[in-house]
C-alpha cells in the first residue's frame, strides 16, 4: 500500500499541465479575381496565377514562360485569445512564403476578411506540367471536335485547374509558450495555351537577331565538376558538385542541376546576379542511396554473396538566360556532364599471415 501511494506521488511530480491555446481563430480563402480576355479570347485573371505556354512550330506546345511573375489574391482573418499577444503572420503559396506586418499591441490581425496580394516567382503547379497539360488537352479536343491540331492551336485555349497551388495563412501568438496555427486552401491556376501567332511573335526578326549578334552575350560558359569522381564506402552518401558560370556583361542568369535518373530529377531554378562581366561559383550536393540488385531481392543477394551493383551517374549544370529583344523564349545552355561512381560494397578484409 505504501509503495502504491509513493509511486502515485512520484508520478504526479512528472505530470505536465498543458498550457491553454493562445490562437483564437485563423482563416484563409481565395480572393476575388479581375478577369480579362487573353490572346486566345478566353478569360484569364489579372490578379491571379496565369501561366502562358507557347509553341515554336505549331505542331505541339514546347515551353512555358517561366520568367513571368505569378500573382495571388487571398483573403485572411485571425486573432489571438489575449490582447498584446499577436506576434507574427505569414502567407505561403506553393514554395513561396511572405511575412505580413502585424501590430503587437493588438490581439487581432483582422476581424473581418482582409485582402492580401502576393507576387511570387514562377512555380510549377503541384502535380501539373503546364506544357504536358496543353498537349494532352490538344490531343483530346482534336478527337472530340474533329479538328486539326493546327487549327486549334491557331485559336489557343485556356485550362483552369482548381487545385493548382496550396496556400496557407499562419498566425503566431504568445502565451505560456509561443503557439502558431494555420489555415489552408487550394488555389486555382489558369494555363493559357497561347495561339500560334503568339508563338511566332517570339521569333525575333532578322534585324533584331543581327543586333543581338553584335551585342556582348550575357552568358559565356558554364562548367561543373564532381568533388570526388569515385567513392567507395558505406551508403547512402552525399556527392558534391562544384560549378562555375561566366557572364559577358551585367545581368541575371538562372541555373539548376539535372541528373540522369529515370524521373529526370531537376532542382528548382536559382538565380545568380552579375554586376559586371565575371565568373561566379555554384554548388550542390546529391544524395545517392544503396543501389538495388537487379532482382530487387536483397536477401537473395546477401545469401549468394554477390556484390552490390556499382552506381554510375552524372549531373549537368543547366543555365537559362533571359530572352533578348523583348521576346519570351529564353536561351538554354548546359555544362558538360560531371560523371561519378559510387561503390557501396564493404572493403575486402585483409588476409593475415
Question: Average of pLDDT values for 140-164?
Answer: 91
Alpha helix segments (H runs only) across 128-182: 130-144, 149-155
Q: Are 123 and 70 in contact (CB under 8 A)?
A: yes
Confidence of residue 165 (pLDDT cuts 50, 70, 90): very high
Residue 187, beta-bridge partner list: 165
C-alpha 170/C-alpha 353 separation (Å) is 68
Residues 6+ apart with CB under 8 A from 79: 23, 24, 25, 86, 107, 108, 109, 111, 171
Q: What is the pLDDT of residues 209-267, one digit of tens each?
A: 444 444 578 889 999 999 889 999 999 999 999 999 999 888 899 999 999 866 568 88
Confidence of residue 328 (pLDDT cuts 50, 70, 90): low
Q: What is the pLDDT of residue 175?
A: 77
C-alpha 306/C-alpha 301 separation (Å) is 6
Query: DSSP label at 3?
Result: H
Q: Which fold has domain 215-343?
A: Immunoglobulin-like (2.60.40)
pTM, rounded to two decimals: 0.54
Query: DSSP label at 244?
Result: E
Closest CA to 24 of 172, 246, 192: 172
Query: DSSP label at 266?
Result: B
Strands 270-274 and 278-288: unpaired
Closest CA to 56 of 65, 44, 69: 65
C-alpha 248/C-alpha 123 separation (Å) is 28
Cα distances (angstroms) measured from residue 349 to each of 108, 176, 343, 346: 68, 58, 16, 9
Q: What is the pLDDT of residue 325?
A: 59
pLDDT-above-90 percentage for the chain: 44
Query: Where does the chain hold its CATH 2.60.40.3880 domain(s)?
Result: 215-343
For the chain, how many residues are written?
Answer: 353
Handedness of CA 136, 141, 144, 146 (dihedral sign): negative
For residues 307-335, b (16+ Cβ closer than 10 Å) or e, as one string?
A: ebbebebebbbbbbbeebeeebbbeebeb
Terminal-residue alpha carbon distance, the chain? 67
Listed range (9-18, 60-69, 90-99, 339-348) with the worst mean pLDDT: 9-18
Amino acid at each position: 500500500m505504501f509503495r502504491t501511494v509513493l509511486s502515485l506521488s512520484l508520478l504526479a511530480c512528472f505530470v505536465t499541465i498543458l498550457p491553454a491555446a493562445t490562437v483564437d481563430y485563423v482563416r484563409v480563402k481565395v480572393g476575388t479575381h479581375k478577369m480579362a480576355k487573353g490572346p486566345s479570347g478566353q478569360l484569364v485573371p489579372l490578379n491571379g496565377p496565369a501561366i502562358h505556354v507557347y509553341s515554336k512550330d505549331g505542331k505541339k506546345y514546347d515551353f512555358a514562360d517561366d520568367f513571368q511573375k505569378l500573382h495571388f489574391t487571398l483573403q485572411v482573418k485571425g486573432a489571438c485569445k489575449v490582447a498584446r499577444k499577436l506576434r507574427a503572420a505569414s502567407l505561403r503559396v506553393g514554395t513561396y512564403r511572405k511575412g505580413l506586418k502585424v501590430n503587437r499591441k493588438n490581439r487581432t490581425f483582422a476581424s473581418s476578411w482582409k485582402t492580401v496580394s502576393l507576387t511570387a516567382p514562377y512555380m510549377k503547379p503541384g502535380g501539373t506540367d503546364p506544357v504536358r497539360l496543353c498537349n494532352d488537352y490538344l490531343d483530346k479536343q482534336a478527337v472530340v471536335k474533329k479538328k486539326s491540331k493546327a487549327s486549334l492551336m491557331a485559336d489557343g485555349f485556356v485550362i483552369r485547374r482548381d487545385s493548382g497551388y496550396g496556400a496557407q495563412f499562419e498566425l503566431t501568438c504568445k502565451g505560456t509558450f509561443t503557439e502558431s496555427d494555420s489555415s489552408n486552401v487550394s488555389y486555382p491556376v489558369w494555363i493559357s495555351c497561347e495561339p500560334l501567332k503568339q508563338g511566332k511573335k517570339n521569333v525575333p526578326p532578322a534585324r533584331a537577331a543581327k543586333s543581338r549578334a553584335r551585342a556582348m552575350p550575357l552568358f559565356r560558359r558554364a562548367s561543373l565538376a564532381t568533388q570526388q569522381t569515385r567513392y567507395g564506402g558505406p551508403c547512402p552518401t552525399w556527392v558534391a558538385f562544384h560549378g562555375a558560370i561566366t557572364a559577358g556583361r551585367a545581368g541575371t542568369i538562372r541555373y539548376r542541376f539535372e541528373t540522369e535518373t529515370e524521373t529526370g530529377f531537376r532542382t528548382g531554378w536559382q538565380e545568380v546576379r552579375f554586376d559586371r562581366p565575371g565568373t561566379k561559383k555554384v554548388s550542390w550536393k546529391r544524395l545517392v542511396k544503396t543501389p538495388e540488385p537487379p532482382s530487387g531481392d536483397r536477401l537473395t543477394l546477401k545469401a549468394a554473396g554477390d556484390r552490390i551493383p556499382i552506381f554510375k551517374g552524372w549531373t549537368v549544370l543547366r543555365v537559362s538566360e533571359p530572352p533578348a529583344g523583348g521576346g519570351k523564349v529564353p536561351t538554354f545552355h548546359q555544362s558538360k556532364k560531371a560523371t561519378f561512381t559510387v561503390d557501396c560494397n564493404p572493403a575486402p578484409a585483409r588476409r593475415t599471415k
